[in-house]
Amino acid sequence: MTAADRRPVPVDPETLHTSPVYAQGMLAPAGPLLFVGGQNGTDAEGNLLDGVEAQSAQAARNVLAVLEAGGTDLTHVVKLTILFVDGVDLGAAYAAVMPVWQGHRCAVSGMRVAGLGRPGALIEIEAIATVPAE
Amino acid sequence: MTAADRRPVPVDPETLHTSPVYAQGMLAPAGPLLFVGGQNGTDAEGNLLDGVEAQSAQAARNVLAVLEAGGTDLTHVVKLTILFVDGVDLGAAYAAVMPVWQGHRCAVSGMRVAGLGRPGALIEIEAIATVPAE
Amino acid sequence: MTAADRRPVPVDPETLHTSPVYAQGMLAPAGPLLFVGGQNGTDAEGNLLDGVEAQSAQAARNVLAVLEAGGTDLTHVVKLTILFVDGVDLGAAYAAVMPVWQGHRCAVSGMRVAGLGRPGALIEIEAIATVPAE
């Protein structure tokens, strides 16, 4: 890894619990940032998939697609915000996201909300990523 | 448009549904960023307006006022997060925001929440924007 | 204060209500950013403290710990997002956070949600901060 990679660096204070799944903080080097808007479980035609597992995996794949289109990738993700509609099985959602996410540790916030912009959507994932130097 | 404008660039993967209203992602060039705190439908005296249409339009105007005071404008907005109190008529809210927003496409997340920091507030809009080079 | 401090600058338009507690916007100078993931009221062993006062103060202390580990501090915080589980006493939460927060004004969004990633958590605080030049 060189400086040109502009990969963010996990920050985990000794005085806090360290998680294998997320980082307590993430340091983003100076440079351009890609903001990925809230992605839900819709396919290429804009149709919403059925159920929390299918929607969660699709939402994660959609984040990856925006990262790629923006010239960056999963290893440059600084922050994830994961919105669940209240009542969703979080275990099922995480289990569906994990294989797509390949264990990248970054700063995360998760919350249960009353609903999302799109009716029927059960999960929405937004992301912020650094972009490698050209 | 020159590089000095530092305008963010919409990112819309071919494998995702493309929306006329929002971008799937937004690339922010390196440089200063303006973070606009959650704006609700309060006027210059801090009084909350009545109803979702009035509050939505005022919240959008307040975002524009902070952008202007920070030396930037709507065309530099990278990301919007729109919080609605559960039960609010989203159609009415969007209809009120649209004329203020003038069709600027950027990354967006929307969610229905149980309440906002200020009692009685029905909508809150936060924004992140790049700032033009001087 | 020199430019090397990279401290963010509050933006408060004359046409908006000015608050002694938060800034309407915050201008972050170009450079690295630290993203602090959602911090809740867990201690160093990962145990969740009891009650909203204890959780709120601990969540704020955890944010400070991540800032320090990332090479920055409270005076460089640009944006706070404060998530409360619906039903929490906001007055008690703010009263517990204030002594830790030492009056730093920055951009803020607050919302009441149906729940957080961790069961039993009543409050979660995430932050974005600039980082002083070395």
CATH for B33-130 is 3.30.1330.40
Does the beta carbon of A21 lie under 8 angstroms from any beta carbon of chain C?
no
Contact state of C108 with B68 under an 8 Å Cβ cutoff: no
pLDDT of residue B38: 97
What per-residue string of b and e applies to B86-112 under the rule 16 or more CB within 10 Å gives b? bebebeebbebbeebbeeebbbbbbbb
CA of C42 vs chain B CAs: smallest distance (Å): 23
- Which chain A residues are Cβ-neighbours of C125 within 8 angstroms? none
- Size (chain B), residues: 134
DSSP-derived pairing of the beta strands C123-130 and C33-39: antiparallel
pLDDT of residue C86: 92
pLDDT of residue A3: 56
Please give the helix or strand (H or E) that residue C21 lies within, else none. none
- Which chain B residues are Cβ-neighbours of C33 within 8 angstroms? 33
Contacts with A, B 23-82, CB within 8 Å = 23-30, 33, 78-79, 82
Does the beta carbon of A115 lie under 8 angstroms from any beta carbon of chain B?
yes
Domain boundaries, chain B: 33-130
A101-111 mean pLDDT? 92
Contact state of C113 with B114 under an 8 Å Cβ cutoff: yes
Residue A1 reports pLDDT greater than 50:
no
- Which chain B residues are Cβ-neighbours of A113 within 8 angstroms? 111-113
Residue A10 reports pLDDT greater than 70:
yes
Percent of chain C at pLDDT > 90 equals: 75
- CATH classification (class only), C37-129: alpha beta
Nearest-Cα residue of chain A relative to residue C127: A25
- Which chain A residues are Cβ-neighbours of B23 within 8 angstroms? 37
Q: Assess: ipTM above 0.90.
A: yes
**Would you place residue B1 in the very low, low, confident or very high pLDDT band (cuts 50, 70, 90)?**
very low
Helix (H, G, I), strand (E, B) or coil at A84: strand
Tens-digit pLDDT profile for residues A37-89: 999 999 998 999 999 999 999 999 999 999 999 999 999 999 999 999 999 99
Tens-digit pLDDT profile for residues C17-62: 899 999 999 999 999 999 999 999 999 989 999 999 999 999 999 9
Residue B2 reports pLDDT greater than 90:
no
Which residue did the predictor score with more confidence, C134 or A62?
Answer: A62
- Which chain B residues are Cβ-neighbours of A46 within 8 angstroms? 17
Q: What CA–CA distance (Å, rounded) separates C49 from C46? A: 9
Contact state of A79 with C35 under an 8 Å Cβ cutoff: yes
* Angle, CA A38 vertex, CA A37 and CA A44 arms, to 5°: 90
Nearest-Cα residue of chain A relative to residue B78: A35
Lowest mean pLDDT among A68-72, A107-111, B53-57, B92-96: B92-96
pLDDT of residue C1: 44
Residue A4 reports pLDDT greater than 90:
no
pTM of the predicted model as reported, rounded to 2 decimal places: 0.96
